[in-house]
């Protein structure tokens, strides 16, 4: 793998800045580091690369202004801190980016914006319009009002979802660690940095050790899960230390900094990537249906044995065989309530059972992703 050649191909980039990169240990913003990162991002944008910034730091910036000495633990204080901190953070970004003749736009997302296909496409169109007008989107979760049911939870996962949404070529996650090590470097001085990870498998996932800082929400495990998402559709991910001077410029110049996680050789379509990573329910199918799906056939009601969890028509669902193996994912044509009624029956009985028959297939072959 030639890292410099991989970097040269990058046309669309997502950069995730962790809380520990943007703040001091006391929770207050590190203005000098933010200014340097903004200068780096502006320079990368001037190269013709479409850059999206996923920024943590809102709660940390806010709780410092509220007089707390550490990240609040109860939800109202967290949300109040986010409300204050988001304003402060965006004001700083706007002021600094304007110095480099760059315009920014803010987008607040949650998991429903990704799981709902219509909202997903609307969000994507917003990004494309911003790119067309040379505007740098700055993304965060709406921490001031979001509830647990629709919360992404950490900005590592959010950055991966955004990368998937806009079909980025590279995700860079900057944190307070140099990359992935053979062991936890904070506990083992003999731990070695791994420069290249061809595939995030169980062995690699086992290397994730420990939590994030007292300011952040994500440790190495959340970063590796983010890597699995972006790698699966064909993009690379790099984890590097955000405190290193000009780290973003060095990365984009092809220097061996941090750990690079390589994407699959062939990119899958944005639609199929969405289907794979936004599943909201599960259905169990019989052996015959499993064979049919693997042969690129549609899933019919007759092949469904059971339904797990609730979902609506148009949701993406996980398809599981009788041995509890994941067969694939697909966009469902009926709700979980309706599937429970029509399961095991022939397609010509659907209208009699539920009063309508919009589709012969429960999941059409064109809306399937096969594992």
Residue numbers belonging to the annotated binding site for substrate: 56, 143, 155
Can you tell me the distance from the alpha carbon of 324 to that of 337, in angstroms, rounded to the nearest whole number? 22
Which residues make up each annotated binding site? 16, 56, 143, 155, 175-176, 217-223
| Residue length of the chain | 371
Which residues make up each annotated binding site for ATP? 16, 175-176, 217-223
- Which residue do the tokens 């549609």 mark? 298
Residue 358 token pair: 């919009």
> 177: which residues sit within 8 A by CB, 6+ positions away?
185, 220, 239, 241
């Amino acid at each position: 793998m030639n890292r410099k050649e991989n970097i040269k191909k990058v046309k669309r980039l997502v950069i995730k800045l962790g809380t520990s990169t943007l703040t001091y240990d006391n929770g207050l913003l590190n203005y000098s580091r933010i200014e340097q990162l903004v200068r780096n991002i502006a320079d990368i944008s001037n190269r013709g690369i479409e850059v999206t910034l996923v920024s943590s730091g809102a709660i940390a910036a806010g709780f410092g202004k509220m007089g707390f000495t550490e990240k609040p633990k109860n939800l109202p204080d967290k949300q109040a801190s986010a409300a204050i901190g988001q304003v402060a953070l965006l004001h700083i970004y706007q002021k600094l980016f304007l110095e480099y003749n760059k315009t920014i736009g803010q987008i607040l997302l949650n998991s429903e914006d990704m799981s709902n296909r219509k909202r997903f496409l609307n969000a994507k169109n917003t990004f494309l319009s911003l790119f067309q007008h040379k505007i740098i989107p700055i993304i965060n979760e709406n921490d001031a009002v979001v509830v647990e049911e629709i919360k992404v939870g950490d900005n590592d996962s959010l950055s991966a979802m955004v990368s998937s949404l806009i079909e980025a070529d590279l995700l860079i996650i900057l944190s307070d660690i140099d990359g992935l090590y053979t062991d936890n470097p904070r506990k083992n001085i003999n731990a070695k940095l791994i420069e290249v990870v061809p595939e995030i498998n169980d062995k690699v996932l086992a290397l994730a050790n420990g939590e994030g800082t007292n300011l952040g929400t994500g440790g190495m495990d959340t970063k590796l899960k983010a890597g699995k998402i972006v790698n699966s559709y064909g993009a690379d991910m790099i984890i590097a230390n955000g405190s290193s001077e000009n780290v973003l410029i060095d990365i984009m110049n092809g220097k061996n900094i941090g750990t690079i996680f390589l994407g699959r050789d062939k990119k899958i379509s944005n639609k199929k990537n969405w289907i794979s990573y936004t599943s909201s329910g599960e259905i169990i199918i019989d052996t015959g249906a499993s064979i049919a799906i693997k042969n690129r056939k549609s899933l019919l009601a007759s092949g469904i044995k059971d339904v797990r969890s609730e979902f609506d028509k148009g949701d993406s669902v996980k398809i599981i065989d009788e041995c509890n193996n994941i067969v694939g994912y697909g966009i469902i044509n009926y709700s979980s309530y309706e599937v429970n009624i029509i399961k095991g029956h022939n397609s010509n009985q659907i209208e009699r059972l539920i009063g309508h028959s919009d589709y012969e297939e429960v999941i059409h072959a064109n809306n399937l992703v096969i594992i």
